[in-house]
Amino acid sequence: METIEDFAIDVLGPRTLPSPLGLSNAMGDMVANYTLDEDRVLWDISGRDTTRSFERAGPREFNYFRGPSVRAGIVTCGGLCPGINNIIRGLVLQLWHRYGVRSIAGFRYGYRGLSMRGAASTIELNPDMVDSIHLVGGSLLGSSRGQHDPSEMVDVLVGEGIRILFCVGGDGTMRGARAICAELDRRKLKVSVIGVPKTIDNDIPFIERSFGFETAVDKAAQAIQAAHVEARGAPNGIGLVKLMGRHSGFIAAQATLASGEVNLTLIPEVPFELDGKGGLLRWLSSRLKSRGHAVIVVAEGAGQRHLARRDERDASGNQRLSDIGTFLKRLFRERLQHLDVNVKYIDPSYMIRAAPANPGDSIFCAQLAENAVHAAMAGKTSMVVGIWGSLFTHVPLAAATSGRKLLSVDGPEWRSVLDTTGQPAILGRQPRPPNEQEPNDDEPPGPRCPAC
């Protein structure tokens, strides 16, 4: 994991072009204001550490690019997620209507399209084309995983005349964006590269929320409610729901709090034992004997130590996980036969990923897109638009790719989960020593927020 000393944002050069937005620099004149580079958002929102802060996002009074003479590109990468189409639409509308950009290329199927030659890899985007795409899930541009040669991708950017590139995706996408920036720097090319954070797991460091997360929690809570109905409708019924979360339990935790019907939540950050006095099977047996049913939520990355390790990686280089959901379903049926359990297993992952954004995410996507365009037109580069303390920020790509954000098991969110479920803090294991992480794969954890 990299040491992040500051959050300075790279710029392509002096900003000399007056903004076309017609905003104000005065308070109280009923006209929205420009944002100053001196406007900051503290990293430690508790106020204990005032030495580091993020640059605040927003429109600048002077820009680096003139809209009518610039060509922009948009690429969406990684797995599908609610809100991608909202982001594409927001970028296009902001570029077109607010800054006068009339040349916008959409690269097909992620970085794979950006590394392909020929017109077939791009779509020319305009307001009419994106008019109603926010009403459906998926991505108008398609998506893919996998690493590609940054030199070849920069060749494509040069060939297409791209001066601004918006990269919509998660940690792998941001690493790819950083590699593109390094190649641009090597060639001394002035191209703005702006990341828009898309990870349904909400695990990008220094960004408190990524788009699609709220919709995922909404849909996950519906799946939990179905599992609760099924569990209560059968003797010794077990409703088992597997949710997204390779390394971080944010969706599982928030969906548990949203539903109020979960009796046990298992996340990657908290290890557990299957057997023994305080183990999972003993706990579940006791729960069924006392209440006759149980609802269990498990994040996909939880409990991997109990499964055979798969020496495989996906196209993005992530280790393929074994299926904890089907493992637990089989385990409960085999080991609790004497209770004649009825296991109802629900995995809503792909239904959640393909869903359109809910109203909260729709608003958030529009704001992310607006701020991404403001940053790009001002000549900012090698950065991600984030949010911290409910304020939109600029986060360097170096910080956003420095590790993974984990749910703090010492913090208030996990405490609320324990209060809601009534589950023990530890299932059959002693608490880990401070700073010792449960092994998952070779990805480092992200820096911990001092206010969490």
- Is 203 catalytic? The answer is no
Distances (CA, A) of 183 to 117, 144, 156: 18, 22, 12
SS3 440: coil
Burial class (CB in 10 A: 0-12, 13-18, 19+), 336: middle
SS3 74: strand
**Helices H / strands E in the chain, number of each:** 13, 17
The C-alpha angle 2, 114, 394, rounded to 5 degrees, equals 40
Alpha-carbon gap, residue 246 to 254, rounded angstroms: 15
The active-site residue out of 39, 44, 201, 323 is 201
Q: What are the b/e assignments for 60-96, b being 16+ CB within 10 Å?
A: bbebbbebeebebbbbbbbbbbbbbbbbbbbbbbbbb
Residues 6+ apart with CB under 8 A from 337: none
**H or E segment at 290?**
helix 280-291
Q: Which of 136, 39, 77 shows the shortest CA–CA distance to 357?
A: 136
Residues taking part in catalysis: 201
